[in-house]
Amino acid sequence: MKFKNILILVSILFFSFGTSWADTFKIGFNVPLTGFAAADGESALNGAKLAVKQANSAGGINGKQIELVVYDDQASPKEAVPIANRLIEKDGVKVAVSGSYSGSTRAAAGIFQDAGIPYISAYAIHPDITRAGNYVFRTSFMGEVQGRAGALLIGQTMQRKRVVVITLKNDFGKSLAAGFKAEASNFGIKIVNEYEYSIGDRQFGPIVAKVRADKPDAIYASGYFFTAGPLVSQLRSGGVTVPVIGQEGYDGEQFIKIAGAFAEGVIITTSLDRDSNSPIARSFISEYEKFSGNKVDMVSASTHTALKVVVAALRKAGTNNPDAIRKAITQTQLSAATGHISFNKLGEVRKNVEVQIVRDGDWHYHSTIRDQTLLAPPES
Amino acid sequence: MLFLELFLQGLLQGSIYALVAVGLTLVYGLLRILHVAHAGLYTLGGYFGVLVFNSSGSLMLGGIVAMFGVGILGIIIYRLCYEPILDQPPFVPLIASIGLFIAMEELYRILFGSYGVSYTNPPLQQMLPLAGLYLREGEWVTILVSLVLIGGLAWLSSRTRLGLAWRATVTDPQMAESFGIDPIRVRYFNFFIGSALAGMAGMIVGILNNLVEPTMGSVPSYKALAIIVLGGLGSVRGTLVAALALGVVESYGTIYLGNVLNRDAIAFVFLILVLMVRPQGMFRGV
């Protein structure tokens, strides 16, 4: 009995020393690794791991290594809340990143804000995320901003005026549609019809039949690769040949795998330019493919960028003090795979929107939207 | 014309629902188990189809593997998962079934990857307008395959000794047994047929979407439950009618109510409306 107690004591001592000996900078990371969003979760995790590996091999933070503390949130708010509490209280992280969707990111954001721990949303787009408070940031576009860019692209760049809007009925699709509709009339666009679908839908026969009767000039369709792939194939094989304009949810090789030859000519607004000349984007594209065995997508690029922002802030702050880290994040001026990153007062990113088109079975440069007034995120 | 096309699209969706829901209703009719993991077998049919086609190039072989492979797995699930707990109250097999379904989804993710699998050379994607109706080749094939399979099932159950034994066991298992029918073999047969139909449905949907995902069964898992309730639990004919009716209602609903209700909500509103008028479902009995 005595022996057992001693054993327990020794192991407690060992493990408590173990953590202090290791002395790493921990970054919390919630990401959907199981459930319906597991595909994006895998890309996000790989993007994050690559950023941490690169930072560690470049000397870590003042010689100390960085450790990514990963939890699976299944893209569900009810999982994200206990994970956020656990990251803060048990793991003692002083900064965290969301590699997850809006639902869980929004739920966790309030908890990190209350605890005074900086939290960056890598690619979740709901407007309320950064409104949780001054400790919450976002390194990708808000849905509304990207929707406005879509209106400029269709109405001005492409000169298409009769548009059908097909909207994914969740916060992602809804906020894209809101931004698009707010700017549509300013670019002379008439919205002929709008249809909505839910995230479980893969069969769009009725919508395709109706769109064929609507005879639009272009289609603005929100979705993720697993809804957009079947949607675009079904539109094309259903005889609808007008341009389809999507967003970053399409962005990745998976969309092209699903839609096959029907993907040709699809145009999207996103954050990563595959044909970029920037050495930072080029090196990310090749390093990521080497590291993960997959091609880059928007999610991996955005998550890599978010981690890079955190690493830069930790280096600048030089301590594990959350307030110092927060201050360093607000002053970010950083070139990353997804462009030049700086934040406004609300913690929203300011950058250009990249437009990509599918040609010969791969994503390529189409144009860049630089209209900073149109793309300005809200300040409060 | 649009009206007719939407109707046709509804029948198409409905025939897929029918293939999935029939298996569920067969299991419920025989054993009074709500077999949620049935939707996991549907997903597996999708995987068998795409994996066999991608490696062999034969759609026929894909279809055979999807039906037989999934059918046999259906028997194994019955033998390993349900048979040991048949004497428990109904919620025990239900919970086992839900657990099994979640485990299957995650197992598919681990085995086949979280991004899903697509046909490398997608078959049956071209448009084939017949009589002014725009349907893809795959959609015509869907309608044809459903008619053949459901017709075959009707023939099997009404015109063969096997079908007679099957229906007798559903009506009165003890009496059937005393006439020399082996109830265990009837159950195996029941699971085989139901699962094989779901496997075929999964393969068809995999082709139509050109995507087989680990979570492909999540919507069918509860929608098929709604359909068998709608059809009057355990009634095969009721299930078929309910599946087709739901497909058509959803098709019109997507266009005319889509901005108010989403597709799945339409299904359940329809379910509630029908149950208000006919609490026993649209049909009763076998």
B136–A237 CB contact, under 8 Å: yes
CATH number assigned to the domain comprising residue B31:
1.10.3470
By residue count, chain A amounts to: 380
For the ranges A222-236, A303-317, B86-100, B224-238, the lowest mean pLDDT is seen at B224-238
| Residues of chain A contacting B250 with CB distance shorter than 8 Å | 206
- Is the CB of residue A214 less than 8 Å away from at least one CB of chain B? no
pLDDT per position as a tens digit, A45-64: 999 999 999 999 999 998 89
pLDDT per position as a tens digit, A275-330: 998 999 999 999 999 999 999 999 999 999 999 999 999 999 988 899 999 999 99
B283 in a domain, yes or no?
no
A36–B218 CB contact, under 8 Å: yes
- Is the CB of residue A116 less than 8 Å away from at least one CB of chain B? no
Q: Which of B127, B209, B263 to mutate to test the interface with A (most CBs of A within 10 A)?
A: B209
Measured between CB atoms, which of B127, B214, B218 is closest to A238?
A: B127
Pair A32, A41: CB distance under 8 Å = yes
Which helix (H) or strand (E) is A163 found in, with range? strand A162-168
Q: Tokens 């144009």 label which residue?
A: A367
Cα–Cα distance for residue pair B170/B234, rounded to 1 Å: 9
Instruction: Give the model's confidence band at A186: pLDDT under 50 very low, under 70 low, under 90 confident, else very high.
Output: very high
A194/chain B closest Cα distance in angstroms: 8
B233/chain A closest Cα distance in angstroms: 25
pLDDT, average across residues A330-357: 93
Q: Tokens representing A199?
A: 């995230």
Measured between CB atoms, which of B109, B122, B211 is closest to A38?
A: B109
Q: Where are the beta strands (DSSP E) in A228-370?
A: 244-246, 267-270, 334-336, 339-341, 353-359, 362-369
Amino acid identity, residue B144?
L
pLDDT above 70 covers a percentage of chain A that reads: 94
Pair A136, A113: CB distance under 8 Å = yes
Angle, helices B218-230 vs B2-31, to 10°: value is: 80
| Residues of chain B contacting A200 with CB distance shorter than 8 Å | 218-219, 263-264
- Is the CB of residue A196 less than 8 Å away from at least one CB of chain B? yes
A200–B5 CB contact, under 8 Å: no
B284 in a domain, yes or no?
no
B282 in a domain, yes or no?
no
**Residue B153 neighbours by CB under 8 Å, 6+ apart:** B22, B193, B197, B236
pLDDT per position as a tens digit, A330-342: 999 999 999 999 9
The ipTM of this complex is: 0.88
B89 in a domain, yes or no?
yes
Pair B164, B181: CB distance under 8 Å = no
How many domains does chain B divide into? 1
Measured between CB atoms, which of B211, B214, B262 is closest to A169?
A: B262
Instruction: Give the model's confidence band at B85: pLDDT under 50 very low, under 70 low, under 90 confident, else very high.
Output: very high
- Whether the model clears a pTM of 0.80, i.e. scores above it, the answer is yes
pLDDT above 70 covers a percentage of chain B that reads: 98
B6–A206 CB contact, under 8 Å: yes
A277/chain B closest Cα distance in angstroms: 29
Boundaries of domain holding B31:
2-277
B211 in a domain, yes or no?
yes
A259–B210 CB contact, under 8 Å: yes
B210–A230 CB contact, under 8 Å: yes
B215–A195 CB contact, under 8 Å: no
What are the DSSP calls for A202-260, one per residue? ---HHHHHHHHHH--SEEEE---HHHHHHHHHHHHHTT--S-EEE-GGG-SHHHHHHHG
Closest CA to A184 of A214, A155, A211, A157: A155
Domains in chain A (CATH in brackets) are: 2-141+277-349 (3.40.50.2300), 143-270+354-369 (3.40.50.2300)
